[in-house]
Structure 1
Amino acid sequence: MSVMGREQRLAEIFVELADSLIDDFDVIEFLQSLSCRCVELLEISAVGIMLGDEHGELHTIAASDENTRLLELFAIQHDQGPCVDTFRSGVQRTNIDLTDPKATSVFPHFAQQAQKNGFAVTHALPLRLRTRVVGAMNLFHTQPGTLTAENTALAQALADIATIAILQQRTLEQTYVERDQLQAALTSRIVIEQAKGILAERWNTSPDDAFNRFRAHARSQGLRMSDLGRQIIDGVPGRSALS
């Protein structure tokens, strides 16, 4: 993509994201779209967005593909990985060579699993507002390489947009509301995962395919993914397109 073409696309995406920040928006859909836009803009292979719950434990909330989601879950289970470190410190960790034992000495299991999933380099950026860190964003490359200073700054800007979306700016100073919003997002993701599993089994297809079809149907019907997920779990009639 040419420099001019990239700048135009960047402007379009920021407008698209800003337009999504309405009073009653679907935070899961927003973060899902943002993770896919990160892949497009930053020329990386995959993205995972994670949030901390009220106990300070990380959970995957959105990813550019299901392979990344499973990798993030692995990182959390072992309480290690770049996102864990970034979430706790609030500091970026970029250009981590997953094949370098020295670079991955504090999270060897994560590095091993990442390589099995085909990734060579990873980066972690905090989801933060001032001193408040609510999660982290993990970027992956399948080929050796580095994230330029320009792309690192852009990646952090996108992570900051994600933070604002999660917290919803009008309630930043209300701690109890913030906690409820984060918990609601995490609960919604659990519902979506359950619905995705039901559909994958029903259609005898992969979780990734089931999720994409589920998401597309929610968007076409103007439904929140969590609301559609609850209807599928509860067996609500009228979802013929997903039968």
Structure 2
Amino acid sequence: MTERLDELASAMRELTQALEHDDQENVVFSTICAEAVRAIPEADLASITAIHDGQAETAASTDPRADEIDRAQYTIGEGPCLRAAATGEVVRISVPEAGEVWPDFVAAAKQFDVGSYLAAPLRADETVTGALNLFGFGDSGFRTLESDVLTVYTTVVGFGLRTAQRYREAQLRADQLDQALRSRGVIEQAKGMLMAIHRIDEDAAMQRLIAESQSTNTKLREVARRFVDTVRKRD
């Protein structure tokens, strides 16, 4: 048990580093899959099912065989990964015992010698849901312990993904605000130059900038920047 907890803790440390330093979704999802296999030694393959606007796709996997088994479920619209995503509950099965419920899934799993399957719901944000799927070559099925470990892991993963998303959104808003302030600054500068050169008031200077923007189909801040640069070059 202690060894299992050590593996889980180590996997979570690696996952945290990926969330902190990688902003590419495919890299993060691939790390999530790889560390899930590391945290749960009974798992031989892993994949992430992402469902957006009702469409399911495999966002990442550790092996093409996992993609094929996922695809069989997407094609028929049912299977353990889709049930986990839809119900928010962990699905733990022995593949040979699932033939009556999901015959197409079982056929695909057996084709690649997968005998055990474990899927836990995973929510990345308010619009994207899915599941983290584990595949085992043994047919005894994952135990309750593996199910509990995966539940803990996906809870941390979901929290990390949502936190990272909120950080990116906050950073985007900060960048947009910075851009807006920079744009406003150069526009104010251009207005001041126009007022001094042509001895006009602030409204008239602004109207000149707007007229130039509309006639040239150029953004206002770009018109202002060009004007400021031109005046500076003359000086």
Amino acid aligned to 1:15: R
When residues 67 and 7 of structure 1 are mapped into structure 2, their CA distance, relative to the original with a 3 A threshold, is same
- Give the deviation of 1:163 after TM superposition: 2.4
Give ranges in structure 1 of 5+ residues lacking alignment. 178-243
The structure richer in helix per residue is 2
Query: Aligned Cα RMSD in Å?
Result: 2.8
TM superposition shift of 1:33: 1.6
Shift of 1:133: 7.3
Determine which structure has more spread, i.e. the larger CA radius of gyration. 2
Who is 1:180 aligned against? none
Structure 2 partner of 1:51: 50
Q: CA deviation at 1:131?
A: 9.8
| Cα distance change on mapping 1:50 and 1:4 into 2, 3 Å | same
TM-score by length of 2: 0.62
Q: Which amino acid in structure 1 is aligned with residue 65 of structure 2?
A: N
Report if the CA contact (8 A) 2:45-2:136 is conserved: yes
Q: Does 1:147 align with 2:145?
A: no
Partner of 1:99: 96
- The one-letter amino acid paired with 1:63 is S
Distance 1:106 1:18, change over 3 A: same
User: 1:22 deviation in Å?
Assistant: 2.4
Q: Does the aligned pair in 2 maintain the 1:126–1:133 contact within 8 Å? A: no
2:110 — aligned with what?
115
Q: Which amino acid aligns with 2:152?
A: A
3-state DSSP of counterpart to 1:147: coil
User: In the aligned structure 1, how far is the partner of 2:38 from the partner of 2:14?
Assistant: 14
Shift of 1:104: 3.5
Return the alpha-carbon distance in structure 2 between the equivalents of residues 121 and 91 of structure 1: 17
In 2 relative to 1, CA 30–24 (structure 1 residues): closer, same or farther, beyond 3 Å?
closer
Structure-2 change in CA distance of 1:165 and 1:27 (3 Å): farther
Q: Distance in 2 between matches of 1:133 and 1:65?
A: 23
CA 1:87–1:40: 2 relative to 1, 3 Å: same
* Counterpart Cα distance in 1 of 2:113 and 2:144: 24
**Identity, % of aligned positions:** 20
1:65-123, Cα deviation, whole Å (9 max, x unpaired): 111112211210111110111111111111x12112xx342321111111111111112
Question: Which portions of structure 1, spanning 4 or more consecutive aligned residues, are displaced by more than 4 angstroms?
Answer: 3-6, 129-133
Q: TM-score w.r.t. structure 1 length? A: 0.60
